[in-house]
Structure 1
């Protein structure tokens, strides 16, 4: 009888202990679903893209059951902190500003930004004096927006809820230029009809103040076990060739080297 009571008491104690989502069997992955080719919806309503396939490979490596949750970019960190999901896998730059709110894994991409202009544009130099009064677009709540606000105070800055919306206004002639991540911009220009309007311009933007330390997965600061597990899984899929196979489905460059 005593042993039975003791067992029940121990079981009850464990039920009262807090269990972080990071230690649970399932992992919920937050992504945007509006940033092709990294994350987007297919015609039949499924999340797909480089980020999604990397997430699936990481889960397989960790032997975890994972699910994906779509979240608008503006709320992607607040939703993580509110426990809507356990990790953000959405091509997020690792920056000091974001490190104050979340912890990051090792980079799973290198990062660079670029200006994009109409293919007939003569613009090739980008500074505040040159762009004074000109309309420059970027997705809001991004490092691109931070970059423009810091260095182009005299330009007509326009921020949009999605990257597709920025692309549309540039293609329609409502913008003189936009700033975006290098790889998505290159893919848009080379592989879509809409993107044939435009070209990359100027030098790639690699200032770590804005592009940070690469692109990583974000977790809550208390979920260090999950962060370590993700790092181990990432190293494994890079070593066994899974990462490269996924990379080659979407890009001609290696995302770890940008070469």
Structure 2
């Protein structure tokens, strides 16, 4: 009887030990934005943040052995929240830039693109660059690389910094803004939804800032960065990244 009970005890202990890794899986907080579709956005039906970057970091977590808890916040607050330990990862439409790399680290590039230009539909000109808007009021999203680039030209009477890209679209739609500059895929996706009928994207415009989106981590978290990059490489190789991009209307790019 004693031997039988001991065997039962050992079996129970083994079962608990086997279950322990799953129950103890690390949960990491991921800073993401409620605006920025198709990269990230607030799904009003579920009141959760969804999008390309959410799908990607979720799949990376599955492969790397952690689960994610999405924390919504404004784009301009992401880096401060990461370095204040309020979140552990940034997954948003954030360019990898030299200035940002001084304060945080990034994964390998995920998707590369430039800024798009939007104007009122009443403006039918095929604009190619900044010169067409000398002395005008233009806008971009606060915290992005586009604001400083516009200001540095010294060409504009004012560069307005907006909290969100839909805010820029609304002002162009209402005729309050001559031109807006923002992430091309986000502008294109928003316009396809039909919510800004008096806005058009200028296809003749040549972007001046072309960058790659990456996943952000604290500089101290090199082990985490290594896991993210290893999983990202695996997901690129097996076609998962391409499937996620396709789901959100973007084409896979050559590495």
Q: Which bin holds the TM-score, normalised by the shorter protein?
A: 0.7 to 0.9
Separation in 2, partners of 1:181, 1:137: 12
Are the aligned partners of 2:134 and 2:156 in contact in 1 as well (CA < 8 Å)? Answer: yes
Q: Secondary structure at the match of 1:35?
A: coil
Residues 64 and 227, structure 2, Cα contact 8 Å, conserved in 1: yes
Partner in structure 2 of residue 107 of structure 1: 109
State the alpha-carbon separation in 2 of the partners of residues 67 and 198 from structure 1: 35
Alpha-carbon distance in 1 for matches of 2:34, 2:64: 23
Q: Map 1:1-259 to 2 at 5 A.
A: 25-43=26-44, 44-125=46-127, 129-189=131-191, 191-201=192-202, 202-205=204-207, 207=208, 210-212=209-211, 214-251=212-249, 253-256=250-253
Unmatched runs of 5 consecutive residues or more in structure 2: 1-24
CA offsets per residue over residues 220-247 of structure 1, 9 Å max, x none? 1111111111111111111112112111
Q: C-alpha offsets along residues 81-133 of structure 1, whole Å, 9 cap, x if unaligned?
A: 00011111111001011111111110011121121112331343355553123
Question: What SS class does the counterpart of residue 91 from structure 1 fall into?
Answer: coil
Contact 2:39 2:93 survives alignment (8 Å): yes
What is the rounded CA distance, in whole Å, between the counterparts of 2:38 and 2:53 in structure 1?
8
| TM-score (norm: length of structure 2) | 0.83
Do the aligned partners of residues 179 and 94 (structure 1) sit closer, same or farther apart at CA in structure 2, a change above 3 Å counting?
same
CA distance in 2, matches of 1:249, 1:165: 25
- How many correspondences in the alignment? 229
| Structure 1 residue 153, shift from structure 2 partner | 3.8
Distance in 2 (alpha carbons) for counterparts of 1:123 and 1:155:
20
Structure 1: tracts of 5 or more residues without a match:
1-23
Q: Alpha carbons of 1:217 and 1:167: their partners in 2 closer, same or farther (altered >3 Å)?
A: same
The 3-state SS of whatever aligns with 1:194 is coil
Which of the pair has more CA radius of gyration? 2
**For 2:62, what is the secondary structure of its paired residue?**
helix
Task: Tell me how far apart the structure 1 counterparts of residues 194 and 134 of structure 2 sit (CA, whole Å).
Answer: 30
**Could you report, residue by residue, the CA deviation over 1:47-71 in whole angstroms, capped at 9, with x for unpaired residues?**
1111111111111111212211112
